Amino acid sequence: MTTPVTITGLEDAKALVGTHLGHTEYVAIDQARVDDFADATGDHQWIHVDPVRAADGPFGGTIAHGYLTLSMTPFFLPKLVRFSGFGLAVNYGCERVRFPAPVPVGAALRCGATYDAVKEVPGGIQSEITLTFEVEGQEKPGCVAAIVLRHYQRGQGA
């Protein structure tokens, strides 16, 4: 497992630009997690929640929602990079998100990250990080997302 890199300010972040931050350990994606996500979002499409019907579907079983895979970001990211000394963190959005391959229920998923860019913003920094959600044993990733985060110094904010 990768030890998380710690960013305490702009200079630390600048030093990481272009750096691959490593990979997390694999985590099993089970049907209960998929069903909970379906309940939370209202997306109960059979390809996600009906194992019997999905067995005869295009993937031979249920698959995780693409957005469930993306929603694993807050679980995986702190295992790769930590921001210390900031008072507020904001998920500023995504520049690009793709779902190149399905994540079958029962598969193991891990995340790799590359620190792409940083810039100073009023009261803090803005980081761009590309996340690659890899499915164990699959050539193509389940998700690739270029995320944007902002970290503000204490007493600052958007």
Q: Tell me, what's the pLDDT at 2? A: 75
CA distances from 139 to 10, 73, 142 (A): 35, 21, 10
CATH class of segment(s) 5-152: alpha beta
Per the CB < 8 A criterion, the answer to whether 65 and 133 are in contact is: no
User: 73-131: per-residue pLDDT in tens?
Assistant: 999 999 999 999 999 999 999 999 999 999 999 999 999 999 999 999 999 999 999 99
pLDDT band of residue 142 (cuts 50, 70, 90) is very high
Q: Report the C-alpha dihedral over residues 134, 61, 75, 91, rounded to 10 degrees.
A: 90
Tokens representing 48? 């996600």
